[in-house]
Amino acid sequence: MRALRKIPGVPLLLLGVFSFLLPSSALSWGSWEHQVCGEVAELALLPAARRQIDLLLGPGVRLSQVANWADEIKRARRETGPWHYVNYPLRDSEPGFSVYEADEGNVVTALEEQLRRAGDWTLETEKRAEALKFVVHFVGDIHQPMHCAAGEDRGGNTVVVFFDGSRTNYHSVWDSRFSGFRDRSPELFALRLWELSTPGFRERAAAGSPYDWMVESHVLARDFAYPLLEKARSCQRTRRPELSGVWARAARPLIMRRLFVAGVRLAAALNRTLVPPPPTPAPPPPSLENSAPDYAD
């Protein structure tokens, strides 16, 4: 089992600014949130990586435009369903099994495989383009804590809660049920988050591997998401609490942190994967100065 490398977090001041940017009802990790990840990544792409994206997806197609493709094809391609998450006991920081030996795959193995395929210049352009679209989405998913949470409740899917008076489940509150930000474009919102960060933070945030990011999300689910739910339950004295008030205000800084870091890491991964390696220089011609004569005296 691999040891988790420490990944730096977002400064507290930046978290406070993230909190200020969010309306209290906007807590989904749905299409808008995936688009924000794509737009953050656009700001950190190398020109060479951007040119490769133009070749694969078409001139001018932005990452945010394909960020939800992997969700849209899940029904038609059911084998891809397990690729969006990985669950294991909440008490464990790391899984007690090898994520690389799972028959159906998971978000770690899928992300690493699709990164490999996106950067494989021997594959057809169509296959590389598909891999790229998977990568854009899976980087977002792996940073959503409930996509890497407890197997006992299927990442919060079986935990009943209420949000704005509507019955739902805890995973959906984090993931895709409640959509906000309709008055804000993902591009402008990502730009605002970028302006509030520093080059040093972005460089540190880009560290780690998909495995590291998965463990990071799991620990956040264990140490933040579930305790926050229990606090809401205890305050309201119900097993099915309303989460649109104090809970929402406490959760929104973490949500923004994960969206921003996911975008930075997506760009770093694509910069490494899509930029063609420099051409191998041709060997110099053999020198004749000290060569032996090809004739006998």
Q: pLDDT for 142-169, tens place per residue?
A: 999 999 998 889 999 999 999 888 899 9
The kind and range of the H/E element at 163 are strand 160-163
Question: What is the pTM (predicted TM-score) of this model?
Answer: 0.84
Sign of the CA dihedral 8, 13, 17, 23?
A: positive
131 token code pair: 């891999």
- The three-class DSSP label of residue 168 is strand
Mean pLDDT of 133-138: 98
Cα separation of 19 and 5, whole Å?
27
Looking at this protein, which amino acid is placed at residue 84?
Answer: H
The most confident of 14-28, 36-50, 165-179, by mean pLDDT = 36-50
Cα distances from 238 to residues 117, 152, 264, in angstroms, run 48, 20, 39
Chain centre distance of CA 218: 13
Mean pLDDT of 217-229: 95
256 token code pair: 């923004």
Local confidence band at 194 (pLDDT 50, 70, 90 cut-offs): very high
- The three-class DSSP label of residue 86 is coil
* Alpha helices in the chain, H assignment, sequence order: 12-21, 31-42, 47-57, 69-72, 107-118, 125-142, 170-175, 186-196, 199-205, 210-220, 226-236, 246-274
- pLDDT on residue 293: 53
- The three-class DSSP label of residue 66 is coil
pLDDT at 46 over 90: yes
pLDDT at 288 over 70: no
Cα separation of 38 and 267, whole Å?
8
Length of the chain: 297
Among 15-19, 130-134, 185-189, 243-247, the minimum mean pLDDT is found in 15-19
- The three-class DSSP label of residue 222 is helix
The candidate with the shortest Cα–Cα distance to 147, out of 229, 233, 88, 75, is 88
Domains of the chain: 12-84+92-274 (1.10.575.10)
Looking at this protein, which amino acid is placed at residue 126?
Answer: E
